[in-house]
Chains A and B, each alone.
Chain A
Amino acid sequence: MEKDKKLALESLVEKSSLSEEDKGFWKQMIANSPAEFMETLAEVLEMYPEELPWFNDILKRKQAAFALFETDKEKGMETLRGIYKEEQMKMEELISK
């Protein structure tokens, strides 16, 4: 069952418009996720497969914001706060669809 979910998710990523590098990252994350982590990935990506590029963009922007912590923590935190706000708006948009 878990294996089926992994395969379904990998297939969803493969069919997406993500770059090959980004597809590799997501597949890796899926392949190595703890069971409950993968469960959540599956629930959300199966509900909103067309949103994968948006989710990917947010993940990369979060990584960039965390990388800022090394040189400018305040700026990193401010950037993350902006991202959380975008997530909140996206959440409302997706729920009302």
Chain B
Amino acid sequence: MFEIFGKQQNEEPKQPMQETEKPVTSLDSFKEEADQYVIKILRENNFDDERILNLMLELQASLALENIKDIDIEEQLDEQEKALSSGSGEAYESEAAKVKAGKLKKFFKMMTIVAGITIGSIMIADKSAEAGGRSSEWERYAQRWADIFMRDTARMPGKMFDDSRRKDFMGIDRQYQSQRSLEMDIRRIFESYRQKIQSDPSNAKFWEEQRDKEVREMLMLRGITNPDQPRQ
């Protein structure tokens, strides 16, 4: 298990995964229409079930990262700064009051960072655990993510990242961007055409054909498969 606050971490504020939950081991677990479509396309293109299962688990992890990236702590700190600076001003007239206010502001912001990193890290660990612990990289990612945010609290209440730290974080991000998987692309195409079909149901067949054509082209561009080759 990753460590949120450093090497002495031995408890979690929330258990990432219940002991009764089992890792996903079968493609039957993927019931969503978009998942079913991805599985169908991959099968049609000669992917065996074990490989598809691994890809689907990576997809879950990729989608989780998308959600986690929504936890933009810097954005929240900006919001918080505005709120904390919106007081009447009467309370801060003396020098002593201003000092107290500065300390409290910094403290409240630190609590926001702690809340963000603990929850973000737990989300990543959840997904790693759901994938049956296959992706230890995700736990390392969670740990690095937490470490970087914690180190940057030392520079509060300014911006969380200096240039070198930002590069460090973005480097990790790019590493995972580059690993974004095939089925993520298929799923995006599927979602995009699902919206088109919803808004134009009378042409559903046309949109489905366009969707499948786009998926085939994407697969060919990636040099993954010959779309006309029948499944063996």
Whether a CB of chain A sits under 8 angstroms from the CB of B101 is yes
**Bound state CA distance, A58 and B112, in angstroms?**
9
Nearest residue in A to B88 (C-beta to C-beta)? A92
The B contact surface, by secondary structure, is helix
**Bound state CA distance, A55 and B83, in angstroms?**
17
**Bound state CA distance, A80 and B60, in angstroms?**
27
Chain B 46-72, CB-CB to A under 8 Å as 1, else 0, gives 000000000000000000000110110
Whether a CB of chain B sits under 8 angstroms from the CB of A17 is no
**Bound state CA distance, A77 and B80, in angstroms?**
11
Closest beta carbon of chain B to A64's beta carbon, Å:
8
Whether a CB of chain A sits under 8 angstroms from the CB of B30 is no
Whether a CB of chain A sits under 8 angstroms from the CB of B197 is no
Q: A85: which B residues are within 8 A, CB to CB? A: 83
Q: Say yes or no: A88-B87 contact (C-beta < 8 A), given A63-B119, A66-B116, A94-B104.
A: yes
Count how many chain A residues have C-beta atoms less than 8 Å from C-beta atoms of the other chain: 39
A47 touches B67 (CB 8 A): no
A44 touches B103 (CB 8 A): yes
Q: A63: which B residues are within 8 A, CB to CB? A: 13, 115, 118-119
A34 touches B151 (CB 8 A): yes
The A contact surface, by secondary structure, is helix
Q: Say yes or no: A34-B70 contact (C-beta < 8 A), given A41-B107, A59-B115, A80-B79.
A: no
Q: A50: which B residues are within 8 A, CB to CB? A: none
B79 touches A29 (CB 8 A): no
Closest beta carbon of chain A to B75's beta carbon, Å:
9
B80 touches A91 (CB 8 A): no
**Bound state CA distance, A40 and B88, in angstroms?**
24
Which residue of the partner chain, among A29, A31, A65, A91, contacts B108 with CB atoms under 8 Å?
A91
Those 8 A-B pairs whose CB atoms lie nearest each other, nearest first? A32-B5, A84-B83, A62-B115, A32-B6, A66-B119, A44-B107, A92-B91, A36-B154
Residues of A within 8 A of B (CB): 24-25, 28-29, 31-37, 40-41, 43-44, 47, 55, 58-59, 62-63, 65-67, 69-70, 73, 77, 80-81, 84-85, 87-88, 91-92, 94-96
User: Can you list 22 residue pairs at the A/B interface with Cβ under 8 Å?
Assistant: A25-B13, A33-B150, A34-B153, A36-B156, A37-B153, A44-B104, A44-B107, A47-B103, A58-B111, A59-B111, A66-B71, A66-B116, A69-B67, A70-B67, A87-B108, A88-B86, A88-B87, A91-B84, A95-B91, A95-B92, A95-B100, A96-B97
Residues of B within 8 A of A (CB): 5-11, 13, 67-68, 70-71, 76, 79-80, 83-84, 86-88, 91-92, 97, 100-101, 103-108, 110-112, 114-116, 118-120, 123, 150-151, 153-154, 156
